[in-house]
Amino acid sequence: MCGIVGYIGKRKAYPILIKGLHRLEYRGYDSAGVALINEQGQLNIYKAKGKVAELETFAADKDTSGTIGIAHTRWATHGEPNTVNAHPHYSESERLAIIHNGIIENYAVLKAGLQQEGYTFKSETDTEVLVQLIEYTQMDKHVDLKTAVQLALQQVVGAYAIAVLDKEHPDTLIAARKGSPLVVGIGEDEYFLASDATPIVEYTDQVIYIEDEEVVVLTVNSQLSIFNYQLSTINGVDKTPQIKRLELSLSQLEKGGYPHFMLKEIFEQPRTLTDSMRGRVNVRQDNIALSGFIDNKERFLNAKRIIITACGTSWHAGLIAMYAIEEFAQIPVEVEYSSEFRYRKPVINKDDVVIAISQSGETADTLAAIQLAKSKGAFIFSICNVIGASIPRVSDSGCYTHVGPEIGVASTKAFTAQVTALTMLALCIGREKGTMSEDKYLAVVRELGRIPDKISRVLEQDARIADFAKTFTYAQNFIYLGRGYNYPVAMEGALKLKEISYIHAEGYPAAEMKHGPIALISQEMPVVVVAPRCGTYEKVVSNIQEIKARKGKVIAVVTEGDEIVRKIADYVIEVPESEECLTPLLTVIPLQLLAYHIAVVKGCDVDQPRNLAKSVTVE
Ligand code: G6P
């Protein structure tokens, strides 16, 4: 969380930084700020509480000149979201300015030491401690800024990506990372710096991904040097930078005529799933080829257990995968919240396969969970969307979902692609192990090829869903029910609603309703029931009867032509018939649309809901 951006070159930095902040706003939007060194060598900092637009208003009549600068959009960790706690932060003498994404865990100890040396603090942030420490080191040891940054970071425990300006050296921009992402874009006589490539893509497609424990020094005369600062010599080792080509286009970062990124991303799903399957699902040859599996077949075939670890929506995709892997590959699966897994001293064996699922590939808890599992010898396979992110980089193997940038904070197209990738993996293992019949394998592979068109059919009901969504803006609570493969879909539907409309919602296995949630049912309570005609359909129909008997309002997601549920439910949304394991790819679509339209009618900020951030790089 938090987005950082920097520029050094010949152009005016401010517009580039502001545009970059808008692109990174998905990472947090509690406050925004910018630091610029003007031609007179003054270091100006402007900050505002709230979104980047507030910063623009605040800075409109200020001196925003300068060809070097750094900027930040914040998701608050230490200290409430106000202007004082907003980044950038000055050092004591106001010679340095810093921006930071991450958490300095030992900031209290460092702060106490600096206070003894006479340093004073204006904010409650851990970040201000770091900039003071760098300045103190610079003065105390009489070293240049790069060395001061290196020495200071050697004392820091935590995760960070930082960028530092020094008004005494207006020709140099310094950045470093450990645990939080950092990309450098290489232009002509200019460099860009950002938490991800989105602020960089319109200027250059040449990038360098900075690694953990590296500091990068960028200068006006087009010099770029990278050092590892944890090595015994303080100068570390000057590394030969590896320049990569960006596979990202500008149009992927725009709304393309939709009012919100979330709606655009929901409607993109027929195409994004086709992209996810391209080169992998071969319907003509009735085959799935997943290179991450093929290259590591033995690890999967010998696995006595598969542990899936993820957070949020990705965790829901993992739960669906548990059903598929156990059904097709007959390997026991455990699905763990990364944050719980990493701290509960889990028993991990060398023959375990750990699957990490993460859209961003940067979620701190998931990254830590796989590092733990890797240290115990487990094989790590990751399903990620962002190419080159930290999680795929530390994994042994994996599968990218290839859905392009997901910008709406509430995840939609990443979820369906994760479910698709995991289903492909389950099919690969099942066929190779001989634990599923060839008929079943072929039926699912062929059906996968039909899913994009079937999603398009579900999307045709958008206007009707938008229409009845209006009825539910009064609701304070929602219940979502589903069974089997569609129980995680119920939880995902509930998560979507609470994330963007701030209505409290819970997802339950439908049969659990009678053990508690049924007490909540009244004519005020909307209940969304995911009830495609498969598996335990009849039992779910009984659950719907139980809700109606207590006057609850039922919105049912059913298979096309279902006349039974149509007679008892208040609202019905139909999805095409499908293989049971693939029904989540269809049933989740109306739930995404329902949450979206309720949030829109309530006037909520759909793409940037309060308190949330898309990429959670803190624990
Ligand atoms: C945040 C996002 C969610 C996402 C979760 C996991 O909470 O708001 O949409 O599901 O992080 O993120 P990941 O990038 O690891 O999938």
pLDDT tens figures, 279-294: 899 877 788 999 999 9
Q: Measured from the CB, is residue 616 less than 6 Å from ligand 1?
A: yes
Identify the CA nearest to 539 among candidates 531, 551, 527, 528. 531
**Sheet of 89-90, strand order:** 89-90, 96-104, 158-166, 172-178, 214-219, 224-228, 238-239
Instruction: Say how far apart CA 16 and CA 13 lie, in whole Å.
Output: 5
How many CB atoms lie under 10 A from the CB of residue 438?
A: 10
Asked if residue 336 lies in contact with residue 348, where contact means CB atoms within 8 angstroms, the answer is no
Strand partners, 48: 32
For 256, list phi and psi in degrees, rounded to 5: 55, 40
Atom of ligand 1 nearest to the CA of 386: 14
pLDDT mean by block of 10 residues, the chain; 619 residues: 93 97 89 97 96 96 97 87 94 97 92 96 94 96 94 92 96 94 94 94 94 93 84 62 85 86 96 93 85 93 96 98 98 96 90 96 94 95 92 94 92 98 97 96 95 97 95 92 97 97 94 83 90 91 90 94 95 97 98 97 90 75
pLDDT for position 14: 98
Report how far ligand 1's centroid is from the alpha carbon of 302 (Å).
31
Instruction: Say how far apart CA 610 and CA 385 lie, in whole Å.
Output: 24
Q: Measured from the CB, is residue 614 less than 6 Å from ligand 1?
A: yes
Under DSSP, is residue 468 helix (H, G, I), strand (E, B) or coil? helix
Q: Measured from the CB, is residue 385 less than 6 Å from ligand 1?
A: no
Residue 244: active-site member? no
Q: Measured from the CB, is residue 418 less than 6 Å from ligand 1?
A: no
Report how far ligand 1's centroid is from the alpha carbon of 359 (Å).
7
Q: Is the pTM of this model over 0.85?
A: no
Distance of CA 474 to the CA centre of its chain: 30
Instruction: Say how far apart CA 461 and CA 464 lie, in whole Å.
Output: 5
How many CB atoms lie under 10 A from the CB of residue 257?
A: 6
Tokens of 165: 């300006």
Strand partners, 398: 382
Asked if residue 274 lies in contact with residue 415, where contact means CB atoms within 8 angstroms, the answer is no
Instruction: Say how far apart CA 325 and CA 328 lie, in whole Å.
Output: 5
Q: Measured from the CB, is residue 412 less than 6 Å from ligand 1?
A: no
- The one catalytic residue in 49, 146, 264, 614 is 614
Under DSSP, is residue 117 helix (H, G, I), strand (E, B) or coil? coil
Pairing of strands 43-49, 553-559: unpaired
Residues found in the chain: 619
Write the pLDDT tens digit of every residue in 558-610: 999 999 999 999 999 999 999 999 999 999 999 999 999 999 999 999 988 88
Tokens of 156: 């820091």
Q: Measured from the CB, is residue 309 less than 6 Å from ligand 1?
A: no
Sign, CA dihedral 239-240-246-247, equals negative
pLDDT for position 255: 84
Cis peptide before 88 (omega within 30 of 0): yes
Report how far ligand 1's centroid is from the alpha carbon of 140 (Å).
42
Residue 614: active-site member? yes
Instruction: Say how far apart CA 533 and CA 536 lie, in whole Å.
Output: 8
Q: Measured from the CB, is residue 360 less than 6 Å from ligand 1?
A: yes
Q: Measured from the CB, is residue 491 less than 6 Å from ligand 1?
A: no
Atom of ligand 1 nearest to the CA of 409: 8
The amino acid that residue 86 corresponds to is A
Going by alpha carbons, the residue nearest to atom 2 of ligand 1 is 614
Report how far ligand 1's centroid is from the alpha carbon of 492 (Å).
12
Going by alpha carbons, the residue nearest to atom 3 of ligand 1 is 312
Instruction: Say how far apart CA 361 and CA 408 lie, in whole Å.
Output: 16
pLDDT for position 234: 58
pLDDT for position 410: 94
pLDDT for position 235: 58
Report how far ligand 1's centroid is from the alpha carbon of 155 (Å).
30
Contacts for 348 with CB less than 8 Å, ≥ 6 apart: 307, 354, 372, 373, 376, 377, 378
